[in-house]
Amino acid sequence: MPKSVLELFNQKEILNYLKDRKYPTMLGEELFPEVKRQSLEFDMLTNGSKTPVIASVHGFDTESEIGQREAEKKAIELALIKRKMQLKEKEIIALESPRNEAEKAYLMRNVYADIDALVESIKARVELMRMEVISTGKITLDENGLDAVIDFGVPAENKATNVDWSSPESNPINDMITWKNQLDSAPARVLTSTTILAKILSNKNVVNALFGKDSTRIASVGELNNYLEQLQLPKIYTYDNKYRKLNANGTYTKHRYFPENAFVMLPGEELGETIYGPTAEEIRLQRDPSVDMKVVGKILAMMYEEGKDPVSTWEKAVASAIPALKCADEIFQAQINIG
């Protein structure tokens, strides 16, 4: 007897598929390693500094100077991220009544491709949050009725805006030295766009510093980074990956994860964590004795039915997640004019 769609793609099968599926690693996953917790809220320490506060010398038999805690706990709630796609009636008929095994396998691969696309759409939204944290120190949630901003407290003195590296008087290397000296600990790397990197490489004062006055040579990224290293400045890396957004009219527009005008000095260690938590769908799965909850990952995918007219079968991916920045005072964020 032919199996129904929900039998073909039962929760156990989908979980096993996701357990073995490897998706491309995004830059943000390396900077904010992913962890799974069992709560939708967590406490984050904010406004703390790694620069020590000096103690005072005391005379004997005098009371100790009283210190204070600079860092404070801030409760952060994970963001719920989800997306679904519908299997049309013709697709349901084809899956449940295939003409042969080859056609059945082909149709099932199409469904798993949908699941891959849904999971990667969740990963893309998390990556966008991570890059927003790096470039602005904040996460803005202003979609689907949400209106919230999570501020991780990058100090105002660690930011620069309207920096113009196109003018003949500008000197990006001097700016980098100034920004590095603003930080209490030396940055280990810079993240920016190829647009900003091109501005640096073509800047007259940068070319003169590399090759001598009035040189007409074009600097390479390697030559620039070698020179920066000699000045004990961090090497420059670029990130230009994009995602697509579905518009209300069915068209797509491309957007960048990392802003094109951003130039950010970063420490060498991990910047924080990407925290995943439970979802209502995951909690409901605990009622199903056939599901091994240990194989449930950070992003949950499923298939379900609803309605009788028309018959509706949905593929869905869902996660609760937020990146948490732990080194706000070790970052310098600049916005470079690109016009």
For the chain, give percent helix, strand, coil, nearest 5: 35, 30, 40
- What is the per-residue pLDDT across 258-313, written as a single tens digit (0 to 9) for each? 999 999 999 999 999 999 999 999 999 888 888 888 888 999 999 998 877 777 89
Per-residue pLDDT at 195: 97
Taking a C-beta distance cutoff of 8 angstroms, is the pair 239, 27 a contact? Answer: yes
Taking a C-beta distance cutoff of 8 angstroms, is the pair 2, 97 a contact? Answer: yes
Query: Exposure of 32 by Cβ count < 10 A (0-12 exposed, 13-18 middle, 19+ buried)?
Result: buried
- In angstroms, the CA 242 to CA 169 distance is 33
- In angstroms, the CA 247 to CA 53 distance is 51
Per-residue pLDDT at 47: 46
Q: Helix (H, G, I), strand (E, B), or coil: what is residue 29?
A: helix
Query: What's the predicted TM-score (pTM) here?
Result: 0.89
Computed from CA positions of residues 47, 48, 50, 52, in that sequence, does the dihedral angle turn out positive or negative? positive
Which residue ranges of the chain lie beneath pLDDT 50? Answer: 47, 69-72
- In angstroms, the CA 229 to CA 223 distance is 10
Per-residue pLDDT at 292: 84
- In angstroms, the CA 200 to CA 56 distance is 45
- What is the per-residue pLDDT across 194-222, written as a single tens digit (0 to 9) for each? 999 999 999 999 999 999 988 888 889 99
DSSP class of residue 298 equals S
Taking a C-beta distance cutoff of 8 angstroms, is the pair 6, 303 a contact? Answer: yes
Per-residue pLDDT at 99: 86
Q: Helix (H, G, I), strand (E, B), or coil: what is residue 100?
A: coil
Tokens coding 130:
């991570």
Burial per residue of 227-257, b for 16 or more beta-carbon CB atoms within 10 angstroms, e otherwise: bbeeeebbebeebeeebeeeeeeeeeeeeeb
Give the residue from 245, 259, 103 showing the smallest Cα distance to 192. Answer: 259
Per-residue pLDDT at 65: 61
- In angstroms, the CA 75 to CA 100 distance is 55
Taking a C-beta distance cutoff of 8 angstroms, is the pair 163, 337 a contact? Answer: yes
Per-residue pLDDT at 63: 62
